[in-house]
Amino acid sequence: LVLVDPDVLATLPDQVFHEGFAEVIKHAAIRDAGMLEKIEAMDPDDRKVDPDLIADNLAIKARIVEEDERETSGTRALLNFGHTIGHAIEATAEYGTLLHGEAISLGVRAALYLSEKKADLSQEETARLLAIHRQWHLPLLLDLDISTEVVMDALARDKKFTSGRIRFVLLKRLGEAFVSDEITREDIIEAIEHVRTPI
């Protein structure tokens, strides 16, 4: 049973409200490209969130967890889109510098870069998802004083990192994610450096 009171959203500070939408955007990106249209049509400064959008978002996560309850098929790993590098950035940033969704937004930019390179995601789809992140005031530039090597050290402690490779969630297209075992340390370094580049 999941209980949701949308009125609580009106009580959140702007930054917290916006960073929470990083997860909503992620769910749409991995499983329901149509939901992105609803997100694009919203005003990030209006706290009236369509209850259907909340229900759709919860349903995506519930379906993925239900499909892979014991984490044996790899489907549940799709929920890690943007989280691999995002968590490493979050873990190495000074406490309070980045909220979770803000770090995930940076991780999504890295994952989109790798999706273009390794899974032929179109530049147009990448640009669209980045525009949605900008619409929601989510950061896309890693401009903190954190070295790439420090981020890589945090990644090395990730349980998904084995034999110099990491299980990484990529997009073939918006709404269609998959888990790749073909991402190398060098690919990840390149992606982190990409996120340091202004758009």
The CATH architecture assigned to 6-195 reads Up-down Bundle (1.20)
**Structure confidence at residue 162 as a pLDDT band (50, 70, 90):** low
**Structure confidence at residue 88 as a pLDDT band (50, 70, 90):** very high
Cβ(64)–Cβ(115) under 8 Å? no
Query: pLDDT by residue (tens digit) across 42-84?
Result: 999 998 899 999 999 999 999 999 999 988 888 999 999 999 9
Arithmetic mean of pLDDT over the chain: 94
**Structure confidence at residue 164 as a pLDDT band (50, 70, 90):** low
User: pTM value?
Assistant: 0.94
- Single out the residue of 99, 167, 126, 185 nearest to residue 193, CA to CA: 185
Domain ranges, ordered by start, for the chain: 6-195
Cβ(82)–Cβ(26) under 8 Å? yes
